[in-house]
Structure 1
Amino acid sequence: MAGRHVWWGAAAVAAAALAWSTSFSVTKLALERTPPLTVGALRFGLAALLLAVAVRLQRRWRPPSVRERLEMALAGLLGITLYFTLENFGVDLATASDATLIVASYPALTFALEFALFRQRPAPLALLGMALAVGGVVLIVRDNADAAGSQRLLGDLLLALGGLAWAAYNLLLAARRPRMSALTATYYQTFGGAVAFAALALTEYRDWGGLAPVDIGLMAYLAGVCSIGGFLCYNKGLRSISSSTAVTILNTIPVFGLVSAVVVAGESVTRIQLIGGAVVVLGVVLSLRRDVSRDDGAPKTVDRAPKT
């Protein structure tokens, strides 16, 4: 039963990866007519409004304590405002292929932070799984990168810095283990992130214009599928698996993106891409085997974090 609990958590994070696999391309379309901070404010503002209704429909729902709400708002500043600010500017300056490849380095950042903060050395099997997952992502995207632009290096740097924000978000959320439903946790994170985004978006008021129907549709998709659906599944999964394993599963995003490109855009798939997808899956499975063994007796990595 313990092992099954871990695999259900892994499935929830994989569902988040599926939802997020289209985020880069949809964001790129939205950025054609809307500035980056405004995209974040509209996306997460709409998501917060929808979640405000959904969270109150829960049976016997009561607001968590002020401290718990503040903790979730802080997590939202890291995982929503800071991360997506860096991502939006990074995608705007660089390419979707660059973003996909750089996201593959996030597990390494999470492992490094875990060791630096908690003196928790990753197991050899976990390191092998991470290396395989990253190697598979490289195989998938290496032939798809666009020609470099003058601002591409800056965009890549912003995306890399986003990995630090994302790793900090993972460790904070997993270490605190919020005593509330995933829906409630997602709502307060989204609300905190949206408020901060709204304040930042005021700096772009000179670039504001009217929203066309297609822009409204893009924002609705980003809010409903990528934000609400993705973060709900991700928060749910973090209750069962470690933060580093969860981020490793996000390496399946290029795989899901490849499948959607074939089904929706009719693109062809090379043998190298297929091999890369298989290597990614193998790396994720190896990482999950570590958590299954820990769930049978030993404490998880995040449980060794100091409690304040």
Structure 2
Amino acid sequence: MNHKLTPSTILFLTIAPLLWAGNAIVGRTVNDLVPPVMLNLLRWSIALLILLPLASRIFRRGSALWTNWRRFSLLGLLGIGLYNTLQYLALHTSSPINVTLVAASMPVWMMLIGSAFFGVSISRRQTIGAVLSIAGVLLVLSRGELRFLLALRLVPGDVLMIIAAIIWSFYSWLLTLPKDPPEIRNDWAAFLLAQVAFGVAWSAMFTVGEQIVGPQEVSWGWPLAAALLFVAIGPAIIALRCWGLGVQRVGPTIAGFFSNLTPLFAALMSSAFLGEMPHAYHAVAFLLIVGGIVISSRHR
């Protein structure tokens, strides 16, 4: 793993949060058109159909997909089934700006999980940076008012995104493990399809549960079709590919810094498309989070 940030790596790690910010905006706009869990299933089912002609060979008998099915099933569960479902659920009670700002705590979780489960040590500088980042997240959760923080009044969407950030951190660290055979690791379409195939299966199970708990109808039409096409190609296939490349090149901790660009992009898009202007506390929170990650990412 080369920890040097090359121009191409920076580009990959910038494209992903840009598209994820768009995913948050679109996910909020289609709230009334499709249930959140079903939205995730439809999104990744379209991605599956797009990837299928490019790497269908991985489904043949005896391929590396089946010999490594436990790993790809876990990656599909964490990165596709759970993380994205939780994000769409969060957007029902929280704004795209808040959802992406809370998710910006992800680098902190990556450091903690890397230390606890993957043997990566945390320096004093990283600890200081983590405190600053957590302070930024608490500022978002409190809506800039101390009384809300003291009363622990959390919007359900904020809590869901904290859980989602922890799940994505585990997913990102698992990407760095050298367990994938060359026939899949060296073929980007095969690597994505192996995860998406299992992710769609998990998402289908979650969708069945959603319909059992509270059946909801889908408002089919061109607006929903356009939204599904965007979230399937951009935030799904392209972003996941770019993120995987970036993580494999520089590791989850450094790559995690770039995830903090997502709330900045989301704030700009919310202002342009949803009329949800960011508040002063959003700016302060963003500076705290980014400042914390910059400090924690520096080597002694």
TMscore range, shorter length: 0.7 to 0.9
- Return the offset for 1:70: 4.3
Q: Is the 8 A contact 2:48 2:197 kept in 1?
A: yes
Deviation track 1:68-116 (CA, whole Å, cap 9, x = no partner) reads 4542232011111011222222222333333122202222222111111
Aligned residues: 283
- Stretch moving more, 171-180 or 111-120: 171-180
Counterparts of 1:265-284 in structure 2, within 5 Å, are: none
Structure 1 equivalent of residue 106 of structure 2: 106
Structure 2 equivalent of residue 167 of structure 1: 169
Q: Is the 8 A contact 1:35 1:207 kept in 2?
A: yes
1:247 pairs with one of 243, 252, 256:
256
Structure 1 equivalent of residue 14 of structure 2: 14
**Closer, same or farther: CA 49–89 of 1 in aligned 2, 3 Å:** same
Matched, 1:257 2:263: no
Runs (5+) with no aligned partner, structure 2? none
- Return the offset for 1:65: 4.9
- Indicate the SS of the match to 1:102: helix
- Return the offset for 1:144: 9.0
Q: Is the 8 A contact 1:9 1:240 kept in 2?
A: yes
- Structure 1 length-normalised TM: 0.75
- Return the offset for 1:262: 5.5
Q: Is the 8 A contact 2:3 2:250 kept in 1?
A: no
Structure 2 equivalent of residue 217 of structure 1: 226
Structure 1 equivalent of residue 191 of structure 2: 185
Structure 2 CA distance for aligned equivalents of residues 93 and 260 of structure 1: 18
Structure 2 CA distance for aligned equivalents of residues 8 and 288 of structure 1: 19
Runs (5+) with no aligned partner, structure 1? 294-308
Q: Is the 8 A contact 2:115 2:121 kept in 1?
A: yes
Structure 2 CA distance for aligned equivalents of residues 272 and 209 of structure 1: 36
CA RMSD of aligned residues (A): 3.7
Matched, 1:122 2:122: yes
Structure 1 equivalent of residue 156 of structure 2: 154
Structure 2 CA distance for aligned equivalents of residues 93 and 134 of structure 1: 21
Deviation track 1:187-246 (CA, whole Å, cap 9, x = no partner) reads 211221112112322231732334111111111111111111110100111111111222
Structure 2 CA distance for aligned equivalents of residues 140 and 92 of structure 1: 17
Residue identity opposite 1:193 in structure 2: G
Deviation track 1:228-276 (CA, whole Å, cap 9, x = no partner) reads 1110100111111111222222011112223434666688788887777
| Identical pairs, percent | 21
Residue identity opposite 1:157 in structure 2: V
- Structure 2 length-normalised TM: 0.77
- Return the offset for 1:55: 3.8
Structure 2 equivalent of residue 27 of structure 1: 27
**Closer, same or farther: CA 103–50 of 1 in aligned 2, 3 Å:** same
**Closer, same or farther: CA 257–65 of 1 in aligned 2, 3 Å:** closer
Structure 1 CA distance for aligned equivalents of residues 278 and 205 of structure 2: 43
Structure 1 equivalent of residue 44 of structure 2: 44
Residue identity opposite 1:72 in structure 2: F
- Stretch moving more, 167-176 or 269-278: 269-278
Q: Is the 8 A contact 2:38 2:207 kept in 1?
A: yes
- Stretch moving more, 246-255 or 201-210: 201-210
Structure 2 CA distance for aligned equivalents of residues 271 and 210 of structure 1: 36
**Closer, same or farther: CA 110–125 of 1 in aligned 2, 3 Å:** same
Structure 1 equivalent of residue 87 of structure 2: 87
**Closer, same or farther: CA 85–73 of 1 in aligned 2, 3 Å:** same
- Return the offset for 1:28: 1.5
Residue identity opposite 1:172 in structure 2: L
Structure 2 equivalent of residue 67 of structure 1: 67
- Indicate the SS of the match to 2:250: coil
Structure 1 CA distance for aligned equivalents of residues 99 and 276 of structure 2: 20
Q: Is the 8 A contact 1:76 1:190 kept in 2?
A: yes
- Return the offset for 1:33: 2.0
**Closer, same or farther: CA 158–272 of 1 in aligned 2, 3 Å:** closer
Structure 2 CA distance for aligned equivalents of residues 287 and 183 of structure 1: 33
